[in-house]
Amino acid sequence: MPQYILALDQGTTSSRAILFDRQGQVAACAQQEFPQHFPQPGWVEHDALDIWTSQLACARQVVKQAGIKAGQVAAIGIANQRESTIVWDRATGEPIARAIVWQDRRTAGACDRLRAEGKAHLVGRSTGLELDAYFSATKLAWLLENVPGARARAERVELCFGTVDSWLVYKLCGRHVTDVSNASRTMLYNIHTLRWDPALLDLFGIPAAMLPEVVKSSGEVGQAHEEWFGRAIPVTGIAGDQQAATFGQACYDKGMVKNTYGTGCFMLMHAGYVPPVSRNRLLATIGWKVDGRVDYMIEGSVFMGGATVQWLRDGLGIIRQSKEVEPLAMSVTDSGGVMLVPAFVGLGAPHWDPYARGTIVGMTRGTTAAHIARAALEAIAYQSAELLEAMQKDAACPVTEVRADGGAARNDLLMQFQADLLGVPVVRPKVTETTALGAAYLAGLATGFWTSREEIAALWRAERRFEPGMPLERRAALMARWTRAVAHAKGWAEH
């Protein structure tokens, strides 16, 4: 009997593959970083073939590392960076250009023009999203207009559009599909009718024939070809990375909240079974579709989370490895009044300012690399605190805890400061790879590897609980200072 689920966790800066056993524990893990391309200021691109080759290599490596045969893998689940946009030749499978990454801001001007034409309401009403360059629609429109011959080829049904999940399924199985959670992030999918929206396709000039079939999040979509693992393995789970992490954190009841500290930070609250409406510039999005039922979420998105630490490493060079940031930040008692606003690719929720840029304020002659490192970590927490504040205003019920995951959730200094700012406990699970775990759970539910959400929820275990200890007055003063710093970052880039 198969004893494992293989989860493919395709992220913004790296591809990972993790084997999970029946207890939801990690049996083997492999990871590969792949190149990032920044051809112009505000542009972020990936080579889609780098995504595929790194992901396949990791998947093969964990099977080998665990010393098992492909027949011992019950199914494959996929979690992926969302909104990133890929167009490829339907016949050859070759990308027609680099993928435009979710962080890319090149279409901010197009969004401004549509907003000036009064189209933001149409987008929000149908999709639950802000009219923003973050999402896939304007990226796809840009590729159709700027890659020679692309529009004519699309209209001849020669091209496929997909987010990263679609791309991986196409390469693994030869099918052109996406799940509802990823479809809901394209700015083309109506979360009320659960259909591609004809009015939005017309607005953005997208030929419907390019679009993938939309499937549920848990259920077989195809068989990974025998050539990849020596035996065909069913692909039975798909979700965008943040929805997958929410599923992996067992946030199955209305009002439960998780925050993922990855490249960006993404806070999701379970909102029930009808599309929610945010009055505080958060997003309404589909969490997953399982057993015929759609679960909806309210989401807040921070574009620069752990990527801020990468910038300290690769941009400033004040650390050599990301893990060095915590001891460096702890070498000082506080940030010395320094505030770092990491708006390197604009600001996400609740500001939605594509023209904001990274800013450091409050420096003196006494400012050191340690103060900047601490300010960088604290910036991650400040941004997430803004999200929870907006979420609490939207929600009918108070938030009692936040379940944290992602690479930066292993940072104790950050987690304690986050609890202090939020004023509610932050709980770190024993398994912090919850994005991959959620993809595994979705895949396993479809095959009977796990039988129910209740069984999965019983597997969730807390590793550490960070209790808030900061006085309310201090918390309010710090958030007020953060608001002042953000004001300096807003609207900086010319447009």
Residue 241 annotated as binding site: yes
User: Would the pLDDT of 79 be above 70?
Assistant: yes
The DSSP bridge pattern shows strands 99-100 and 73-80 to be unpaired
How many alpha carbons fall within 13 Å on the CB side of residue 157? 4
**Across 353-362, average pLDDT:** 92
Category of 287 on φ-ψ map: left (φ > 0), alpha (ψ -120 to 50) or beta: alpha
Q: Which helix (H) or strand (E) holds 368?
A: none
User: Would the pLDDT of 445 be above 80?
Assistant: yes
Residue 337 annotated as binding site: no
- Rounded CA-CA distance 312/333 in Å is 19
How many alpha carbons fall within 13 Å on the CB side of residue 57? 12
Residue 285 annotated as binding site: no
The DSSP bridge pattern shows strands 402-405 and 339-341 to be unpaired
Residue written as token pair 């990527």: 307
Residue 263 annotated as binding site: yes
| pLDDT tens digits for range 144-174 | 999 999 999 999 999 999 999 999 999 999 9
Residue 23 annotated as binding site: no
pLDDT at 304: 87
Residue 134 annotated as binding site: yes
| pLDDT tens digits for range 409-426 | 888 999 999 999 999 999
User: Would the pLDDT of 339 be above 90?
Assistant: yes
Residue 106 annotated as binding site: no
Residue 259 annotated as binding site: no
End-to-end CA distance of the chain: 59
**Residues pairing with 265 in the sheet:** 261, 302
* Least confident among 158-172, 180-194, 308-322: 308-322
Instruction: With beta carbons less than 8 A apart as the criterion, state whether 183 and 103 touch.
Output: no
Residue 242 annotated as binding site: yes
- Rounded CA-CA distance 449/461 in Å is 19
Residue 320 annotated as binding site: no
Residue 127 annotated as binding site: no
Residue 382 annotated as binding site: no
- Rounded CA-CA distance 324/377 in Å is 12
**Across 46-58, average pLDDT:** 97
pLDDT at 459: 92
pLDDT at 218: 96
pLDDT at 173: 95
User: Would the pLDDT of 262 be above 90?
Assistant: no
Residue 389 annotated as binding site: no
* pLDDT tier, 495 (very low <50, low <70, confident <90, very high otherwise): low
Residue 410 annotated as binding site: no
